[in-house]
Structure 1
Amino acid sequence: MPDNTLVVNTVLGPVPADQLGYTEVHASLLSVVPGAEYAPDITINRAEVFEILRDKLTAFHNAGGRTIVDASGMFHGRNLTIALPILENLATATGVNIIASTGMGPEDMLGGYFLTPQTNPPTPWPAEKFADLFTKEITEGMVVPRVERRAPAGLIVTLSTEAGMTATDESLLRGAVRTSLATGVAVSHTFGADPLAEIDIALDEGIAPERLVLRGIGRREAPVSDIAARGVWLGIDGAGQPALVKELIDAGHVHRIILSSGAVGVAKGHDAPEAEFTTVLTDIVPELLAAGISQADITQITDTNPRELLAVR
């Protein structure tokens, strides 16, 4: 039976975890490459962004979607003054629960301040400073630039450099885990070249495996069975993955799969992937049913698993 005392942090405030319904854990609403907002050839029109996202979230709701996580972290669009108010207004207008995230990465997407703060000699930020930054975004509210703090983040996201985790990437991950331990909010980590070593870093900080989702399973020949053996959540994004999902279900891992579209609603400064917020519901779920996966297993993946991950514990 669900625990009705558990809640999830949304941009409109806490929501009972058992009311999330179908949930997209890994998507981006407004995704902006840091600095693109200053480019002369890029415009970010608040009304236009709102209309595009409202239409996409309405389609998501009509297809059966009830909750979506903007898993792009602090500095990929949410740092803009317009972003958090847009997310709040979208949640009100569409009836979709919207969960925003704190966190950042990889290193080359951080501003210079976070790489060489005011120290002599200059040194990268240590894990405890990242932990303090992320924790305040949960306990005090996310920053609306130059305005205020409001609404707690509901997921902590970090990303490692694809070629291999840097020292700053490691500080980010350790800081994210310390934030999770302090707040009860889960961590989503996109791994680099050595996912097992990165899991071990997180576990070394004391996080329970069920509070960590490793995003990017299925790419770059990741050692899926070894990752699954660590007990973490298995984050699978995008279309073209039903075979992997079936393989994991057959191997007994249905209770550890987080399946998402990886879609981007509005992209600025980069190309959006060829996926919509509805992709799992309209494309992947029918393929899984046709492959013999039971509706009970699908509901476990699309509704129950995200609820278990996102509930504040």
Structure 2
Amino acid sequence: MSGKSNTVNTVLGPVPAEELGAVAVHEALLSVVPGAEYAFDITIDRAEIFETLAAKLTDFRAHGGGTVVDSTGMFHGRDVRLYEALSRTTGVHIVASTGQGPEELLGGYFRTPQTDPPTPWPAEKFADLFTKEITEGMVVPRVERRAAAGLVATTATREGMTATDESLFRGAARTALATGVPVSLRYGADALHDLDVVLDEKLPADRVVVGGLDREDAVAAGAPLEVARRGAYAALDHVGVEHDDHVTDAERAALVAGLVRAGFGGRVLLSSNATGVAKGHPANDLPYSYVLTAFVPLLKAQGLGDEDVRRILVANPRDLLSVR
């Protein structure tokens, strides 16, 4: 990257990219299935949630972590004030996200046809919604806007991208073009197809990270290498998850080593998709420090050196998250 002063949008404001340290690029802090906050059998005690998350972030920092990216988007429990307090208390930088998806988890308003005859929300409406969360700050419902979102996160329907999903992806790409933040996408059935939808909006590939590429179907199709070849970031972001159609950590480590040997070490990202606190769904209860403590030794055993590890955990996410 150039020598200019690059910054990253965190919940406490812009931070020089060089200060991020090791980054967990695809995690969840408070993850709430939309609607669960209203359920009689769900308890949301913000003081208890704060204590749980503060302990997990402190552990992350104690093991060398610097920044956690909450990539849950707008309506899955994102609590900007809570994240501000957590960042101040623990010293861990927190990057929050705008964005939505997949279609089945959108609120009714965002699934309401906007035209006659009915069509899904157009990409431009999603782009306007997401862009304002970066240029004017993330919405704290019905009260105010706070800090700028640091990325746009969106997900396609697992069985394959729907028309609404496509509007979400195109809206995310247009937001990235307008604001300089990156797009984080979780593919549905076909990683390369879903990446192409974003690139069709003329967004440079190095502003896109494709997550979920440690799913068995993606690995079998050679998607991690092909995503990297196209210039996007390939995220193996379920490190520590060895079920639900994902490869094992040993296979992940070999995959990372292969990408590095093929010359694509600058396009690899790692994360655990850990859930700090989950409401309405099971948590992926791995510590945020799992990649640092349990997976890095596997990379070293594959022959990767300290510089390779630093590039993947520090330099790559720094370059991705820098606003430009």
TM-score (norm 2): 0.93
Query: 1:66 aligns to what?
Result: 66
Query: Residue type of the partner of 1:281?
Result: L
Query: Residue type of the partner of 1:66?
Result: G
Q: Paired residue for 2:192, among 191, 196, 211?
A: 196
Q: Paired residue for 2:170, among 169, 174, 184?
A: 174
C-alpha change, 1:141 and 1:117, in structure 2 (3 Å) is: farther
Post-superposition CA distance 1:104-123 (Å, at most 9, x none)? 10000001111115544443
8 Å CA contact 1:2–1:18 kept in 2: the answer is: no
Matches of 2:52 and 2:59 in 1, distance apart? 11
Query: 2:138 aligns to what?
Result: 142
Q: Paired residue for 2:87, among 74, 78, 91?
A: 91
State the SS of the aligned residue for 1:104. coil
Are residue 227 (structure 1) and residue 227 (structure 2) matched? yes
Are residue 298 (structure 1) and residue 299 (structure 2) matched? no
Q: Displacement of 1:162 after TM fit?
A: 0.5
Query: 1:269 aligns to what?
Result: 280
8 Å CA contact 2:276–2:285 kept in 1: the answer is: no
Query: 1:157 aligns to what?
Result: 153
8 Å CA contact 2:26–2:273 kept in 1: the answer is: yes
8 Å CA contact 1:215–1:235 kept in 2: the answer is: yes
Post-superposition CA distance 1:43-63 (Å, at most 9, x none)? 110100000000000000101
Matches of 1:118 and 1:128 in 2, distance apart? 12
Query: Residue type of the partner of 2:139?
Result: V
State the SS of the aligned residue for 2:217. coil
Matches of 2:229 and 2:191 in 1, distance apart? 12
Calculate the aligned-residue CA RMSD, in Å. 1.3
Post-superposition CA distance 1:238-295 (Å, at most 9, x none)? 2212222112112221000011121110001111124220110000011111221110
Q: Displacement of 1:125 after TM fit?
A: 0.6
Query: Residue type of the partner of 2:205?
Result: P
Matches of 1:4 and 1:21 in 2, distance apart? 18
Query: 1:310 aligns to what?
Result: 321
Matches of 1:6 and 1:236 in 2, distance apart? 25
Q: Displacement of 1:3 after TM fit?
A: 3.0
Post-superposition CA distance 1:115-156 (Å, at most 9, x none)? 115544443210000000000000000000111001000010
Q: Report the count of equivalent residues.
A: 309
Matches of 1:138 and 1:4 in 2, distance apart? 21
Matches of 2:200 and 2:115 in 1, distance apart? 28
Greater shift in the superposed pair: 209-218 or 191-200: 191-200
Matches of 1:35 and 1:243 in 2, distance apart? 40
Name structure 2 gaps, 5 residues minimum: 241-248
Are residue 57 (structure 1) and residue 57 (structure 2) matched? yes
